[in-house]
Amino acid sequence: MSDTLAIIGGTGLTQLPGLTISKAHDVQTPFGSPSAPILEGELDGHRVLFLARHGHPHRIPPHQVNYRANLWALQNLYATDVIAVTAVGGITHNMAARKLVVPIQIIDYTYGRDNTIFEGELSQVTHVDFSYPYTESLRQLLLKAAKQVDEPVINGGVYGATQGPRLETAAEIFRMEQDGCDVVGMTGMPETVLARELKLRYAALSVIVNPAAGKGEGVITIKEIEENLDDGMERVKRILHTAVDQFYG
């Protein structure tokens, strides 16, 4: 079977505009149920799978997302490549609100999440190389698509994955900046490593929706996040349409 692209939509992208849905798959996995039925359909004439990470409507907090079921279900439906859309906070000076980022590295600060498919009664111990967590060919696809639609995108940066659902303290963000993080989000792990375990090519497209704690003026407000999210997601949708065309082109 030929390669199939899956898109995981995060906060602000619980639906994929333009997707002509042919089937909603209610997949049962060894790890339970995914966040929502996986939608199969056509986007600009190409077969695409779409999954709302937080459910539809948006109801599952980041620490309770069943990441294992989500990724396993996509693979079970013959996905080979996954583009994950995420909303993040900006840490370093060039990571301003409303900018788009295609990260290249990730640091995991989460805890207590089911973060591997390799557990239980196993015939052998399995380790996966995670030196470079994002698939470079898929990263380049996103960058090329963004350039084609004239949407500025930051190439690179380190994503710091925190537990949530609360936002971080200013001291935590200061520590993360010292660690080398450029943006902060709550869903990058274990999603990224599970894709690697399942041999799925994976890349992320992140929308910066606010300055991280201590990096802006005053406290972070939901109104600010929502305004930046709406603007960013419109640009993300343009990139995704072009990325799908290039993936199957």
Question: Which residues are part of a known binding site for phosphate?
Answer: 11, 53-54, 86-87, 187
- Summarize the annotated binding site for substrate as residue ranges: 186, 210-212
Q: Quick count: other Cβ atoms within 10 Å of Cβ 115?
A: 17
Angle subtended at Cα 187 by Cα 47 and Cα 39, rounded to the nearest 5 degrees: 25
Sequential DSSP letters for 36-71: SPEEEEEETTEEEEEEETTTTTT---GGG--HHHHH
Residues 6+ apart with CB under 8 A from 93: none
Cα separation, 26 vs 24, in Å, equals: 6
Backbone region of residue 73 per phi and psi (left: phi > 0; alpha: psi in -120 to 50; beta: other values)? alpha
Annotated binding site: 11, 53-54, 86-87, 186-187, 210-212
CB 190 within 8 A of CB 114: yes
Question: Bridge-partner residues for 102, per DSSP?
Answer: 155
